[in-house]
């Protein structure tokens, strides 16, 4: 499994988060370049095609950090930034609740395939005009390994 899939599994195993994220939890491997949309992820929308509260997890970047390296085994460590995008139709109450719960689930936690995750901050809440939805994003950093 990828680290994204492992992160998603941690989020989906939490009943408290799922009670708020009624539109589901997705990772970028599922949504690909289109992200959350009405065609490929109909479960994220109600019968009127209005987005339900939901979460999208994306890997922003992986950058070699030169902390751990073993050339003979082709092992290197990387700093990876993971983004947690939270959506809802109106207001930010559910978004704030989801971000707070994600913090509880991720901050200082070692997800399979990573060392500890560390919160890096939130974006400023904004509106997605394409989805006609409110959203906000939390970023987390983790050291991961890459090997042959």
Mode of pairing for the β-strands spanning 133-146 and 75-88: antiparallel
Phi, psi of 52 (to 5 degrees): -90, 160
Range 120-145 average pLDDT: 94
Judged against a pLDDT cut of 90, whether residue 6 lies above it is answered with yes
Average pLDDT value over all residues in the chain = 94
Judged against a pLDDT cut of 90, whether residue 68 lies above it is answered with no
Within 82-131, residue ranges assigned H as helices are 93-106
Range 23-29 average pLDDT: 94
CATH number for region 3-146 = 3.30.2000.10
Domain map (residue ranges) of the chain:
3-146
Asked if 93 and 138 count as a contact pair (C-beta separation under 8 A), the reply is no
List CB contacts of 53: < 8 A, sequence separation 6 or more.
20, 21, 22, 23, 86, 87, 88, 94, 95, 98
Please tell me what DSSP assigns to residue 33.
Answer: G
User: Residue 100, SS3?
Assistant: helix
- The pLDDT score that the predictor gives to residue 147 is 80
Read off the pTM: 0.93
């Amino acid at each position: 499994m990828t680290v994204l899939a492992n992160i998603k599994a941690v989020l989906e195993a939490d009943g408290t988060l799922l009670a708020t994220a009624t539109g589901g939890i997705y990772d970028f491997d599922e949504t690909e370049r289109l992200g959350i949309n009405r065609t490929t992820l109909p479960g994220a929308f109600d019968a009127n095609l209005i987005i339900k509260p939901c979460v999208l997890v994306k890997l922003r970047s992986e950058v070699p950090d030169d902390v751990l390296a073993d050339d003979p085994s082709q092992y290197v460590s990387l700093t990876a930034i993971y983004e947690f995008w939270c959506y809802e139709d109106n207001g930010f109450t559910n978004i704030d609740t989801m971000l707070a719960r994600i913090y509880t689930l991720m901050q200082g936690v070692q997800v399979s395939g990573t060392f500890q995750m560390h919160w890096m901050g939130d974006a400023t809440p904004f509106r997605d005009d394409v989805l006609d939805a409110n959203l906000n994003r939390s970023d987390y950093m983790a050291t991961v390994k890459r090997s042959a």
